[in-house]
């Protein structure tokens, strides 16, 4: 995704809690800005035209997911777009990546829509398990 955005002329600022993941990102895309931080308490003091939380947001607990929408809203410029992946419906599970357990959680689509609306974010689309996106469940919203 970063490759496409950078190739299209967009500036990219990436945030990750994992220093190891950031090392990979920095090596692949040194022209982008990469920040090691926990998204739950993020306050960069600036706004962006778009926020993309792809395969990241659903690693938070349901409580932390509910609390993240004010973080998204304060970082989105007016008219900015928010895109994130979630599960297709409410639930929690532990999967595996390279043999290590990985936590996933999701809220119900109606709850995500209500949380976004409470922060002035208008949901535009939700595609559950979209085959065009590798089976990801994808949300798109716009800031007021």
d(CA 82, CA 125): 11
User: What mean pLDDT is predicted for residues 39-49?
Assistant: 96
Do 29 and 84 have their domain in common?
no
**β-strand partners of 13:** 33
**β-strand partners of 90:** none
Instruction: Identify the residue whose tokens are 């809690």.
Output: 17
Residue 85 token pair: 């992946």
Q: Is the pLDDT of residue 123 over 90?
A: yes
CATH number of the domain at 109, please: 3.40.50.150
Neighbour tally for 140: CB within 10 Å: 14
pLDDT at residue number 53? 96
Q: Is the pLDDT of residue 99 over 90?
A: yes
Q: Is the pLDDT of residue 97 over 90?
A: no
Residue 27 domain boundaries: 1-37
Give the H or E element holding residue 71. helix 62-75
51-96 per-position pLDDT tens digit:
999 999 899 999 999 999 999 999 999 999 999 999 999 999 999 9
Mean pLDDT of the chain: 96
């Amino acid at each position: 995704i970063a490759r496409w955005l950078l190739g299209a002329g967009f500036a990219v600022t990436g945030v990750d809690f994992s220093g190891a993941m950031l090392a990979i990102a920095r090596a692949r895309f040194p022209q982008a800005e990469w920040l090691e931080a926990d998204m739950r308490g993020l306050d960069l003091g600036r706004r962006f035209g778009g926020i993309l939380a792809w395969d990241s947001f659903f690693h938070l607990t349901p409580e932390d997911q509910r609390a993240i929408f004010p973080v998204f809203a304060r970082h989105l410029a007016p008219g900015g777009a928010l895109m994130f992946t979630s599960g297709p419906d409410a639930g929690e599970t532990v999967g595996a990546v390279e043999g290590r357990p990985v936590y996933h959680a999701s809220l119900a689509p109606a709850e995500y829509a209500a949380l976004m609306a409470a922060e002035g974010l208008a949901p535009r689309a939700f595609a559950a398990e979209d085959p065009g996106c590798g089976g990801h469940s994808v949300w798109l919203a716009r800031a007021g």
